Every structure is written in structure tokens, then in C-alpha cells.
Structure 1
Amino acid sequence: MAVITRRTITPEKLTFKQLAKVILLFKGISPEYKEECCPSFKIRETAIQQLIGQSLSLENRADLVREFNLLGWEVAINPEYWLVFTVPNVHNWHEVGQWLPYSVTENFQRGIAPCSRDLCQKLGISVNEVAKFYGYSEEKIRDELVCEAYDCADEETQEEFDETGDESLFDIEEGTQLPIDTFSYWQYLDFYLATKGLNRKAPLF
């Protein structure tokens, strides 16, 4: 009598190459699928985790992104989705990394924010414009200028102002800017990104 031995089949884990292909399969069979010149889709990371039965490490993400790249897709990951898309003529894109000034990168490497004054001069940023961006009224700007002038004035002028409250003692002309150190380098940078549309979710004027 023949003895039947049952073979145990050890389930194989998906490789990241296979995982990328399975995700593309889901793209192809989804009801909304249609052929496009530059196709794109999104998938939640939780859906990817369900396919492999575990959460993704940073290394896992990098491996999966690499497999998508090898299949001709680009990937961007945000807190909600994996965005998978194709881009024609990537070689024509503007590359910014080659234009980083050495002085700026050196400061960042040392953990120091670059000089706010240099940034404002280079980008033509007005301190008072930045103040308005952060909610300063004309009156508040004027008050700040008076306080700054008071601190720089001699004792006699300070005493006279204390007695009279006469702001004309400080000769603050129209258009006088707040001190550059009123805001940090990062606040100036946030202002620039918002006004140039580079921070796509920033509140504008």
C-alpha cells in the first residue's frame, strides 16, 4: 500500500519587485482605469502593508520605490498616500542642487542658519512686508520702531519722551524698516516660500 506523504508548502513572501507589479495590477483592474500618456494613481500605505502583512521600514520603502523606478514610475510619499506617477522628459527639469552656494551649505553643515540680512538682500525682502505677513498692523510696526529708537536714544531724549510721549523726537521717517533681527532666517524663508507659491499650503496675503 502506497504511503502518501503530504508536502507542506511554505508560503513565499512577496519580493518588492513582485509587490510593485501587484500594485500596478490593481491600478490596471480598477474601475477608473484608462490608458493615459502620463498615468498616475495613489495608494494608502496601509493597503501596501496588508499585501505584505507587516509595516514598512524606511529600507522597505526605499526598496519598493526603487522597483517602481525600474518599471518607469516615480514615487512621492506623503503622510496619507503613496503617489505613483510618470513624468515625461525628466532630464528637462530644472535641477536646483547644483546652485547651492558654498557659504550656505557650510553654515547648514555646522548647524548654523545663514545670515538673515544676506537672504533679505538677495531676495529683495522688506522687513515691514514680512511683519505684515505675520499679522503686524501699521500701528504695531510704528510702535516697534519707536521702541527701537527709544533704546538707541541718549538719556536726555529718553527722559523727554517719557515726559511728553512725542514720537517726533526720534525722527522716524516714512518707510523706515524694522530691524533685520525682528524675524529669524526661517521666518523670512517662510515668507518667501509663501509669496512665491513654493509653499503650496501657506496662507497668503
Structure 2
Amino acid sequence: MWGRDRDVAIARAVRALKEMVVEGIATTIPADIAILEHPDFAAVTHSTKWVEEVLDLSHIGTAPITPAGDDNEPLVQRTTTVEVNGRRFDVKLWVPESAGVATSSAKAKKPTRSAAASAGAGGGSGKVSVPMQGTIVKILVEVGQTVEAGQSVVVLEAMKMENQIEADKSGVVKAINVKTGDTVGAGDVVVVIE
């Protein structure tokens, strides 16, 4: 999770964890929330032994795991499109027949990305910046190339994950301010689009 400061990042992580629904298996989500909401964590006074020595997780119950659905109910296949880090994937799911899945053979249209989802940190300024510190591992465009809003322009590796950094508006690449292997900081402008 990322935020302009520690408090924002913690608040976003807590909100995301509280909204997450996982059925059929036990998770560490309650413990994760307890850690994130603890004053020691917010004040950065915790250590590697803090969970064992200080954190009290006794209030977190062990709810019985219940299956996500009736094992005897027939399942139907459903296909949906998900977007992860700017890339779309078609995913097949098997859901209970009673879930109200349409049985029409007509293929559903893929949803279009909203302007907010397509916009980068520059908010349409054409100055594409990175949201966090990391290393540029790939440059996907060239000066003079025409790009569309939402198109990946560079790949940033941060915390051992590759992040697609996208154009915040359509236009022509006027400048590329980085090269592969460069280390950049949060807010650094990596590509300029006009």
C-alpha cells in the first residue's frame, strides 16, 4: 500500500483489509489490522520481536471456516475481466448456479477504464511521475511516439514488484527523463507527453 506519508498508507491498508472478503480459508487479516491500528506501529516504535513480546492478539477469535457454498449445488462457469496493475486478464470462475449468473451465450463487453483509473499522478498534465521510490527496469516508449492515456510508458521495480507507470493523457512523447537502471524517487517525472 502506498500513501503520501505513513499515516495515509496505514489508513489505506486498514481500509483495504476491512473491505476484503475471503471465504473458505482462514486468513491473517484480523491480525494484520490489529498490527496496523496499534499505536506502536504508527509511531514506528515496534521491532522484530514486537509481535511476540508486546502485541496482544487474544481478542482475535478463531471463527470456524465455512465453505463458500453448498457442495451439492451445481456450478456454472462465468468469465470476467479483471485489471491488475494496468493489465487486463480474462478469468474463468465456477460459481453456484443460484448466484444469478446469466446464461446468455452473448459475450459481455469488456468494461472501459474510467478517466480516474487511467490518470496517473500528473492528473492529465502530461508529466508522468512515479508514485514511489524504485528502479526503472524497462522503458516502453520513445521520444516522438504517440501514446494513449492509460498506456504503460515505463516499468518501475519497487519492493520486488514491477509496476506499470501509465501515461496520464494521450499525446506525443516529448521527453524521457530516465534510462533503464536509474533509481527514482516518489514524484519524479519520468516521461513528458504533449
TM-score range, shorter chain: under 0.3
Output the TM-score relative to the length of structure 1. 0.18
- Larger strand share, 1 or 2: 2
Structure possessing the higher radius of gyration over alpha carbons: 1
Report the TM-score when normalising by structure 2.
0.19
**Larger relative helix fraction:** 1
